[in-house]
Amino acid sequence: MENERLAHEIAHGKKIADRAEDIWGWDSPAGQIRAKRRAGWFVDLGKFTSNDKLLEIGCGTGLFTGMVYDQTKANIVATDLVDDLLDIAKKKYPQIHFKTEDAMNLSFEANSFEGVYGSSILHHLNFETSLDEILRVLKPGGKMIFAEPNMINPQILIQKNIPYIKEKLGDSPDETAIVRWSFKKLLEKKGFVNVQIFPYDFLHPSTPKPLIPLVNGIGKIIEKIPIMKEIAGSVVIYAEKK
């Protein structure tokens, strides 16, 4: 099963490599604003500095690698399963170490990193095995921070569960999304502490540029409203190793 998942992800990554950031929604004007905000969560929650060694899982073309590095100057090891995506990332950021890795079977020694982070990657993986690996490579007191699609969002609920729509929108066959309550329980069962998972992001990447300030402003208000905030497009996941 896991070998089949890996084969699907590699084939999918190779297929989209030349237009990955467009498919992922980061190229549009709204997408660029979303990306900067998402990178801000990684930096602000992690409180990472140049003294920290960080592992990025699923770095893709290096979009968030560069943003986190520019703000922290941390020692980042950025990994992905797909060499075609890593080749693009290496050209953009030659000062960063990029490495081909399976996030469900990492080659790094235990207790190696102060932080592990990633954007929209956990939902491609087997949750059990990937969380075991993240916990293993984190140092005691180390932090994991991820931003992932929210299964409670109506569009994502349809997109992740109807195969025809999933394929048409550029998803890989095995990806899913996060239900924050059950994922929190899983993290705690694995031994993570100080777990926080919260929904955010109502700015859709296809929002027309003139409407971005309005939609973004309304979205940040909705993020503070109980029940309504639950249908946001993304969730931020934060947890620590004891």
> How many residues does the structure list for the chain?
242
Instruction: Find, among 161, 129, 151, 3, the residue nearest to 57 by Cα.
Output: 129
Average pLDDT over residues 164-172: 84
The pLDDT assigned to 6 comes to 86
Start-to-end CA distance of the chain, whole Å, equals 31
Instruction: Find, among 48, 17, 14, 46, the residue nearest to 147 by Cα.
Output: 46
152-163 pLDDT, tens digit per residue, is 999 999 999 998
* In the predicted structure, residue 23 carries a pLDDT above the cut 90: no
What CA–CA distance (Å, rounded) separates 196 from 191? 14
Task: Assign 3-class secondary structure to 56-78.
Answer: EECCCCCHHHHHHHHHHCCEEEE
Average pLDDT over residues 133-155: 98
126, amino acid identity:
N
Place 169 in a pLDDT band, splitting at 50, 70 and 90.
confident
CATH value of 2-241 in 3.40.50.150, 3.30.300.30, 3.30.70.20, 3.90.1150.10? 3.40.50.150
Tell me the domain boundaries of the chain.
2-241
List b or e across 155-182, with b for residues whose CB sees 16 or more CB atoms inside 10 angstroms: ebeebbeeeeebeeebbbebbbbbebee
The pLDDT assigned to 2 comes to 74
178, amino acid identity:
I
Q: Is the dihedral of CA 85, 68, 142, 124 positive or negative?
A: negative
Instruction: Find, among 61, 63, 16, the residue nearest to 170 by Cα.
Output: 16
Both tokens of 165, joined, read 């729509």
